[in-house]
Amino acid sequence: MSPLSDRQSQILIALVEAYVKTAKPIGSLDLKESAEFDFSPATLRNEMNELEKAGYLYQPHISAGRVPTDKGYRFFVDYITDRRLQKMQIDEEKRLKTELLKLKAREKMLTRTLAKLMSTFSNNLAITGLLEDKSFFESGIKQLVSQPDFQNIDEVCQIAEVLDYLDENIDRLSGKLSESRIDTFIGEENVFKGSTGCSIIISRCTMPEGEEGIVAILGPKRMEYKRNISIIENVVKFLEEGE
């Protein structure tokens, strides 16, 4: 399959960003308005059709707009990672670092409290823990299931199954992690049992006591990847460098 053209790449990136914000299928008129493209809605429709044929988008029902597929999200995550576009807003990054300093001073970076802090900033489920001890903590289930992506019982049961098998899931996933970078697993890529509707951003890290650990954010495929990758990046840097 031929690579996407620059225009198709721009359209796909803009559509994913618009869908992340709205949780609603995105039509050509919506996209033109939100992204302020110079080309016409007809051109947008044609390119969106091509992206759908190539497997990057799908149409949930007739006359609806488009929604990213796992392949579309994968393109988006690779794009923002390659171009270092995942930074948080400066004021938010400063606030996170301030809270991490408070946590270090008060709690000696207890993994349970760190998970609570990460879930607050990401509005998703955060997971922290030690790989050697296989002791993991999670926080943020309320934030996660309150999102529009998890509004029926089957979707909530998926999340419950992830938590029921958390230790096994992390143990299975740890063998797939890179040594020196943040990994993102989207939908079907995710080895967490029962979590094909979710994505996880995860990284190995060294805890202050020198133990090997992980920090992760689990959320809907429609999560804010730029923000959440940056949260993980900042937390790992702080854990390992103290700044």
Question: Is pLDDT at 58 greater than 90 in this prediction?
Answer: yes
pLDDT at position 56 is 97
Lowest mean pLDDT among 3-17, 55-69, 165-179: 165-179
Alpha-carbon distances, residue 188 vs 105, 170, 184, 237, 241 (angstroms): 40, 16, 12, 29, 34
3-state secondary structure of 48: helix
How many CA atoms lie within 13 Å of 221's alpha carbon, on the beta-carbon side? Answer: 22
pLDDT at position 108 is 56
Check whether domain 90-241 has CATH 3.30.450.40, yes or no: yes
Q: Decide the pairing of beta strands 212-220 and 125-130.
A: antiparallel
**CATH architecture observed for domain 6-82:** Orthogonal Bundle (1.10)
Alpha-carbon distances, residue 78 vs 109, 182, 229 (angstroms): 31, 12, 12
Residue of 179, 167, 177, 180 whose CA lies nearest to 200: 177
3-state secondary structure of 142: helix
pLDDT in tens, 129-162: 988 888 899 999 988 888 888 877 887 887 888 8
Alpha-carbon distances, residue 210 vs 129, 137, 217 (angstroms): 13, 18, 22
Cα 64 to chain centroid, rounded: 25
* More confident: 1 or 237: 237
pLDDT at position 1 is 46
Confidence of residue 123 (pLDDT cuts 50, 70, 90): very high
What proportion of the chain, given as a percentage, has pLDDT over 90? 41
pLDDT at position 175 is 82
Round to whole Å and give the CA distance between 51 and 54: 5
| Token couple for 132 | 């050697």
Round to whole Å and give the CA distance between 79 and 225: 11
Confidence of residue 61 (pLDDT cuts 50, 70, 90): confident
Alpha-carbon distances, residue 165 vs 25, 71, 143, 162, 220 (angstroms): 32, 26, 20, 5, 18
Confidence of residue 122 (pLDDT cuts 50, 70, 90): very high
Domain with CATH 1.10.10.10 in the chain: 6-82
Domain with CATH 3.30.450.40 in the chain: 90-241
pLDDT at position 156 is 82
Please give the angle made by the CA atoms of 156, 161 and 163, to the nearest 5 degrees: 100
Alpha-carbon distances, residue 175 vs 152, 204, 218 (angstroms): 32, 11, 18
pLDDT in tens, 160-207: 888 888 888 888 888 888 877 899 999 888 877 667 788 999 999 988
Q: Residue 213: which H helix or E strand, with range?
A: strand 212-220
Q: Is 53 left (phi over 0), alpha (psi -120 to 50) or beta?
A: alpha
Question: Is pLDDT at 88 greater than 50 in this prediction?
Answer: yes
Q: Which of 39-43, 54-58, 106-110 has the highest mean pLDDT?
A: 54-58
3-state secondary structure of 55: coil
Which residues is 204 bridged to in the sheet?
Answer: 214
Lowest mean pLDDT among 39-48, 102-111, 202-211, 225-234: 102-111
